Amino acid sequence: MKDLSAAAGTPAVYCIGNELRPELMSALSGVASRCFATLHDFLVASTRLAPGIVLFDADSVQDDVSDAIATLRKRGSVQAVLLAKAAPDFAFGVAAIRAGAVDILEKPLSEQRLLDAIQLATSKCGHLHRPPDARDIDRLTAREREVVAWLLHGLTNKEIGRELGISHRTVEIHRARLMRKLAVPSLPALIDIALAQRDKLPDVGAAQPS
């Protein structure tokens, strides 16, 4: 298991949502962290907080989570936003990444998954930075770029296979290979890179109706 307390430059972690408190406290011993019951409580305190990562329980709000992410990102104390949600679907994940979330974690949280997500968010804050060309979409084949383009449309592997005239198993192979090439640990991280380099992806148009 990774020891974040030993990692130089790990920022503070702020938890929003009481349901996440036990997981956060267990995983982050040695790392500066603080929990807030509601989004409002965090926003009130945010002007007095050191810059850090926010772990936000998406199930704790009734409003559009994209609006909540936008509100958080306007705060100077928020360097990156992680979302936790029970049974998040693919469309939710794409919308959240488009809004600026770094990663989406499924509840109940796995301690190792949480630590991995915090390390990813830390790299987004400018720590543990990778060389920029290591995640260049140009490194992908034409077919792999097509797969990424359809992922941005929110399609599943099966739906992408139908659009490309290949099996969903072949799509899975392309997807695994391109994620290795780009050294991304998760689909949200891939979507984040794809959005930043959308001009390098083909215009695949709209999906055919099922």
Tell me: pLDDT of 78 over 80.
yes
Tell me: pLDDT of 206 over 80.
no
What is the structure's pLDDT at 1? 40
Average pLDDT of span 81-100:
88
Query: CATH 3.40.50.2300 region(s) of the chain?
Result: 4-124
pLDDT range class, residue 8, cuts 50, 70, 90:
very low
Kindly report the average pLDDT of the chain as a whole number: 83
Which long-range contacts link 57-62 to residues 24+ away (Cβ below 8 Å)?
Answer: 57/15, 57/16, 57/17, 57/19, 57/20, 57/84, 57/85, 57/107, 58/83, 58/84, 58/85, 58/88, 58/92, 58/96, 59/17, 59/19, 59/84, 59/85, 59/86, 59/107, 60/16, 60/17, 60/19
pLDDT range class, residue 89, cuts 50, 70, 90:
confident
Tell me: pLDDT of 145 over 70.
yes
What is the structure's pLDDT at 50? 84
pLDDT range class, residue 54, cuts 50, 70, 90:
very high
Query: CATH 1.10.10.10 region(s) of the chain?
Result: 132-200
CATH number of 132-200: 1.10.10.10
CATH number of 4-124: 3.40.50.2300
pLDDT range class, residue 134, cuts 50, 70, 90:
low
